[in-house]
Structure 1
Amino acid sequence: MGNVATNFTKQIEILKSRGMVLDLSEDKIKEILLDIGYYRLGFYWNPFEVDKDHNFIEGTKFSDVVCLYYLDVDLRNLLLKYINRIEINFRTKVVYYVSNINKKSPVWFIDKQVISQDFINNIDYHYNDDFIKNSRPIKLHHQKYINDKYAPAWKTLEYFTFGTILKIFKCLNDVKTQETISKQFDVLNLSKFINIMETIVLVRNCCAHSGVIFDITTPKGISILPGITFNKNNRHCLDSAIKVIQLILSKISNDRKNDLEKSINDLFKSHEDNPIIKKIIEDKIGYVY
């Protein structure tokens, strides 16, 4: 679209000129463009482009682009549901183990004996007036205990993001405490556990913020662990990230792990009759039918 806004008529003309088959009615296409947006849909017709001028593979259909978009929506919603279970479980374990080891320090997340000075120096980024205002129990705590600068860890961490909880975990001074928590998920190597959790947080953030998930790649290779086989030895694709999500989920609830695995397989297999979408699932996501 360049730097100049365009209306529906111009957008449709651009798609036609680049070779897209507009196999839906013009009214329906306009409805979709107003619903999803030309720019956002561009992420989903990108796999169909053949050159830097954004021309499309011959026979590229608008309906296939929309189909890929809704596959991505379904995938994000599905993954977010199960990652939420991991997030809560991980947060609970961090709060429980660190708080019980440091009983005399209820606000241990700003205690230099417990956590690195780097995290403490940046606490205002996480715990500030907006945080207090937007977290009702934290707000009520400060109204009741007016001399407290911070609420106790078991209250505060409940309202920190998954990414912040992982950051706190990584900043703990006591490696033994980190290893205790890692072992709760049957991962004995601490660096591998951190790598896996970073992967899960990356996928979670993409899903939570409506990012494009089908072609996500992890900046770091996902750690190799017993029981996981990465398709084509690709340790950066979404399918490999899903495998480690299933692994961690299985340590919380094997039933939920099986539910996720079945739901993912059912979702992808529902598109196997569409060769265009099937190829994208195989090539971009890394899934093997």
Structure 2
Amino acid sequence: MMAFNKPAITPEQQLTLLQQRGLSILDRPRALAFLQSVSFFRLTSYMRPFQVNAQHNFIAGTGFRQLAELYDFDRRLRLLVIDAIERAEVAVRGHISNHMGTTYESHWYLDAKHFKNNDQHNRLLDEIRRKQDNELRDYHRECQRIDKLKTDSTRKAKLKQKRQQESYARHYALTYSTPQLMPNWAMVEEITLGTLSHLYKNLSKDSDKKAIARGLGLEAPLLESWLHTLTAVRNICAHHSRLWNRELGIKPAVPKSRRVVWPDYLRNGNGNLHTRAAVILPILQHFMIYCAPHASWKQRLAELFNEFPNTPLARMGLPNDWQQDPFWQII
């Protein structure tokens, strides 16, 4: 352990430092504007593949434009990924709600028999209860502000009614006394993706998990694993973190059955590819085929890669000819 002694330096000094390390900067004003919008620290993770030693010297011929383009590619890749995750997430919520609600009634999730782990079940109930309590608290605060307005009582009543309808969690708590918590179809929309992933994993009956997965063209172990993976990837994208050459801390399951179409370069390739973007993209494409086949996601993904032909694919786990794999030819 040692004391930290690195000084803060200005964007102009940062550019000079990069030049001293061998980075070519042809348009200094433009590079400076980029650093003022994207911090030096954020950009460092995109520099590392182009640096050769502990002194952070750059490979000869590396230019600032390469770094900026790589950053822009990654930013736009995250936008595409988060778009697909949103569609997949909404679809999974719907399939869980539709199957479990019609099979076991509106408040099935209140009964512990539907879950394997009681502690996880209690955490689910606590999350929903907390959501309703927070909405009630906010509603009462808003009503207090409305009461202070200089307007007539009829207008105040209308404003309070409008505030009540702004959230179903709020509406349910103000309207119904039993059951205490909201119905299944509202519950699955209120919980986070992480909680949704745990809910699915914790379902007690394999037959329910299989029925839900089947509606998404998957086997239950795959859906369970992929939900866990998408939760991690969503967090990366939501925090604007690097995705391009990210190595996931988890390894999603891959299809063992030929019933689930999968890229040949992943079936036959190095297992290390299963922790990089190489595995994220086909997972999302599978969901898009079942959830949003007319969204042109695959086409937009190909257009992005074609627009940035110099993106180092190997660090994503992708072979140069990945787009020609039969998996990506499926309409």
Normalised to the residue count of structure 2, the TM-score between the two structures is 0.76
Pairing of 1:212-223 with structure 2 (within 5 A): 212-218=242-248, 219-223=250-254
Q: Does 1:77 align with 2:75?
A: no
Checking the alignment, whether the CA contact within 8 Å between 1:214 and 1:285 is kept in structure 2 is no
Please state whether the residue corresponding to 1:52 is helix, strand or coil.
coil
- 1:217 partner letter: E
Of residues 99, 102, 105, the one that matches 1:100 is: 102
- The reply on whether 1:244 has 2:283 as its aligned counterpart is yes
Kindly tell me: are residues 169 and 287 of structure 1, through their superposed partners in 2, closer, same or farther at Cα, counting changes over 3 Å? Answer: same
**Partner residue of 1:179?**
210
Match of residue 144 from structure 1: 175
Q: Answer yes or no: is 1:60 the counterpart of 2:91.
A: no
Give the whole-Å Cα distance in 1 for the aligned partners of 2:110 and 2:56. Answer: 51
Map of 1:235 onto structure 2: 274
Match of 2:27 in 1: 24
- Secondary structure of the equivalent of 1:286? coil
Indicate if the aligned counterparts of 1:19 and 1:57 stay in contact, CA closer than 8 A. yes
C-alpha deviation, 1:63, in angstroms = 1.2
1:92 is displaced (CA, Å) by 0.5
The one-letter amino acid of 1:229's match is P
Q: Confirm or deny that 1:282 pairs with 2:314.
A: yes
| 2:165 aligned with 1:162 | no
Paired AA for residue 247 in structure 1: H
Identity of aligned residues (%): 20
- Relative distance call for 1:49 and 1:222 in structure 2 (3 A) is farther
Supply the distance in 1 between the matched residues of 2:245 and 2:5 (Cα, whole angstroms). 23
1:153 and 2:212 equivalent? no
Are positions 1:271 and 2:308 aligned together? yes
Deviation at 1:287, TM superposition (A): 4.7
Task: Evaluate the alpha carbon distance shift between residue 96 and residue 2 of structure 1 in structure 2; reply closer, same or farther with a 3 A threshold.
Answer: farther
Residues 1:109 and 2:84 are matched in the alignment: no
Distance across 2 between alignment mates of 1:109 and 1:77: 33
Q: Secondary structure at the match of 1:20?
A: coil
Q: Which has the larger radius of gyration?
A: 2
SS in 2 for 1:40: helix
Q: Displacement of 1:244 after TM fit?
A: 1.9
TM superposition shift of 1:20: 1.1
Deviates more, 1:6-15 or 1:145-154: 145-154
113-122 or 69-78: which moved more?
113-122
Q: In the alignment, which residue of structure 1 is the partner of 2:128?
A: 127
C-alpha separation in 2, matches of 1:128 and 1:16: 56
Determine the C-alpha separation between the residues in 2 that align with 1:15 and 1:2. 19
Shift of 1:147: 6.2
How many residue pairs align between the two structures? 278
Indicate the SS of the match to 1:55: coil
> Residue by residue, what CA displacement relative to the aligned partner does 1:181-233 show, whole Å, maximum 9, x if unpaired?
11112223x22332233233332222222121111233215413422125344
Query: What secondary structure does 1:288 align onto?
Result: coil
**Do the aligned residues in 1 keep the contact of 2:124 with 2:195 (CA within 8 Å)?**
no
Higher alpha-carbon deviation: 11-20 or 215-224:
215-224
Which moves more between the two structures, 160-169 or 108-117? 108-117
- What is the alpha-carbon distance in structure 2 between the residues aligned to residue 14 and residue 146 of structure 1? 65
Deviation at 1:125?
6.0
Q: Is the 8 A contact 1:196 1:223 kept in 2?
A: no
CA distance in 2, matches of 1:52, 1:108: 57
Query: Quick one: distance in 2 between partners of 1:171 and 1:228?
Result: 27
The 1:120/1:283 distance shift into structure 2, 3 A limit, reads closer
SS in 2 for 1:254: coil
Matches of 1:23 and 1:109, distance apart in 2: 61
The secondary structure found in structure 1 opposite 2:294 is: helix
In structure 1, what is the Cα distance between the partners aligned to 2:247 and 2:33? Answer: 31
Which structure 1 segments of 5+ residues have no match?
none
